[in-house]
Amino acid sequence: MSTAAPSGAPIDGNDARAWLPALGRLAVAVGATVVIVVVMAFLMLPIVALFTYQPIHDLIDGLGAKVATDAIIVSLKTNVIAFMLMIGFGTPFAYILGRSRFRGRSVVITLVELPLVMPPAVAGLALLVAFGRFGLLGHTFSMLGIDLAFTQAAVVIAILYVASPFYLRGAIASFEAVDQTLLDVAVTLGAGPVRRMLSVALPLAGAGLAAAAAVAFARGIGEFGATILFAGSFQGSTQTLPLAVYSLFDANLDQAIAIGVLLIIVSFAILLTSKLLVRSWTSSTSTSPSPGERSISAQH
Amino acid sequence: MFAAASPKQPAALYAKGLVDKPIEFATNTLALIVPKRNPAHITSVNEMTRPGVKLVICEATVPCGDYARSVFKNLGITAEAMKNVVSQTADVTQVVAEISTGQGDAGFVYVTDAEAANGKVTAITLPPEAKAGTKNTIAVVKSGKNQTAAHAFVAQVLSPQGQATLRAAGFGPS
């Protein structure tokens, strides 16, 4: 920033020449401070307003209400199930895409990222016309006796669809960043492909995977649009925390805000965890990427 | 200007001195709707209480949810009906959406919403004992900045022209 200070301004007199650069630096410092304060105030003020809207005991009362505790349970249950499915299926998928080269690989990676940029409401509509009762697979499902409409399974699917690309993208990059020579050494030591993945690649990519999983989990906890369109909203069954916020918005604003505060605390905790994991990962010497590899750790 | 599908909310605001005296400007009727394909084969309100039927209503805090609950009460089917409720929505259009997409088997909306659904849902008239009639009221908000325009709008709604527009949409006379 200091380089932006005007230097050698065409002004007569030694005095002016002496204090002008200092004045310039001061102006830049003041300007920089103002920019930071304005942007941070804009970002933080709504959060401060949520936290200070009601006395702390009202906030705790709001979270103790049945509608809130029901939503906490629904959110926890559906997100934990979605998270396990995401890790279980997503990790081998990301490993394959991260470590192998095949035709159409970049197309697959781009398609994986598509739900990331899809508006959640559109994702909900897409799930509805794919898995809904009148959807593409609706007839097949009804013959199999499966009815997802307004079930917790539908909530899990909505969360999984919207959140898992965040994990897949990070996990693919983490596996890509694993040093090939270490995997080659494992081959010479007689390790098969599964052993190489579990004992070599997984520990090396571990922190990156965990950071990506944390971001995906946060996205899942906050999922709203796809869930309300695909799974509906019913207290104790499909009403997650964000849906409860929406439902309480007109009925009981205090409670809606109490749940909002809880969601912010949870999201912040997850964000912090993910930051710490990325830091411990990038500062670790064992995972330096081999030259030419595209990697997300290239930021350091 | 505040228009509601029920006299309750405007009356509550009037009691607090926040709006002028509410005026009833139209009536409506609650109806049972089913998807056009009618997967649960529901032809009357009695079949709606069969176990396993997926019923969608509005939340109790909004007029359409309040009316649905009083219809259940009037028909003496509250326990059975509420057991079948799988989704409660924040507004009546969401009920129409969940029924027209076939996610729900049956829902409760106003006949005007059923008519506006472009044939995607079939409306089933409720029996007289359900007392499914509803009242729409309108009131000018006292803190409103443009009182003249608000009063003019209410007058327009109550005028023969405004009433004709409402009739065309399926609303009944007040």
State the residue for tokens 């909203």: A233
H/E stretch holding A300: none
pLDDT digits (tens, 9 = 90+) for B56-74: 999 998 999 999 999 999 9
Residue B12 sits at the chain A interface (C-beta within 8 Å): no
Structure tokens at B69: 């609950």
pLDDT mean over A263-290: 74
Judged by a CB distance cut-off of 8 A, whether residue B104 touches chain A is yes
Encoding tokens for residue A125? 């509509």
Is the alpha carbon torsion for A20, A22, A26, A28 positive or negative? positive
User: Which helix (H) or strand (E) element contains residue B85?
Assistant: strand B85-89
Residue B34 C-alpha, separation from nearest chain A C-alpha, in angstroms: 13
Alpha helices in A53-144 (DSSP H): 56-64, 66-99, 105-117, 120-131, 138-143
The yes-or-no verdict on residue A284 having pLDDT over 60 is no
> Taking the model in full, what pTM does it have?
0.81
Contacts of A233 in chain B (CB under 8 A): 87-90
Yes or no: say if B87 and A238 are a contact pair by the CB < 8 Å rule. Answer: yes
- Cβ neighbours of A149 in B, within 8 Å: 54, 86, 102-104
Smallest Cα distance from B174 to chain A, Å: 27
Residue A278 has pLDDT above 80, yes or no: no
CA torsion angle for A211, A115, A91, A187 (degrees, to 10)? -100
For residue B132, what pLDDT is reported? 92
Contact yes or no for A235 and B88 at CB 8 A = yes
* For residues A295-299, average pLDDT: 42
> Residues of B with CB below 8 A from A251's CB?
59, 61
Buried-state track A104-132, b at ≥16 Cβ within 10 A, e below 16: eeeeebeebeebeebebeebbbbbbeebb
pLDDT in tens, A140-185: 888 898 888 899 999 999 999 999 999 999 999 999 998 888 888 8
Examine the pLDDT at B84 and tell me if it is beyond 90.
Answer: yes
- Pairwise pLDDT comparison (B69 vs A281), residue with the higher score: B69
Residue A234 with chain B: CB contacts under 8 Å: 85-88
**Is the CB of residue A233 less than 8 Å from the CB of residue B88?**
yes
**H or E stretch including B52?**
none
Question: What whole-number distance in Å separates Cα of residue A243 and Cα of residue A249?
Answer: 10
> Can you name the residues that pair with B137 across neighbouring β-strands?
B4, B24
The CA distance from B162 to B154, in Å, is 9
Question: What does each C-alpha distance from B107 to A167, A214, A296, B54 come to in angstroms?
Answer: 38, 39, 50, 9
Please check whether residue B37 touches A, CB under 8 A: yes
ipTM score of complex: 0.76
| pLDDT tens sequence across A202-249 | 888 988 899 999 999 999 999 999 999 999 899 999 999 999 999 898
Give yes or no for residue B38 having a pLDDT over 80.
Answer: yes
Judge whether A83 and A209 are in contact, CB under 8 Å: no
pLDDT at A15: 66
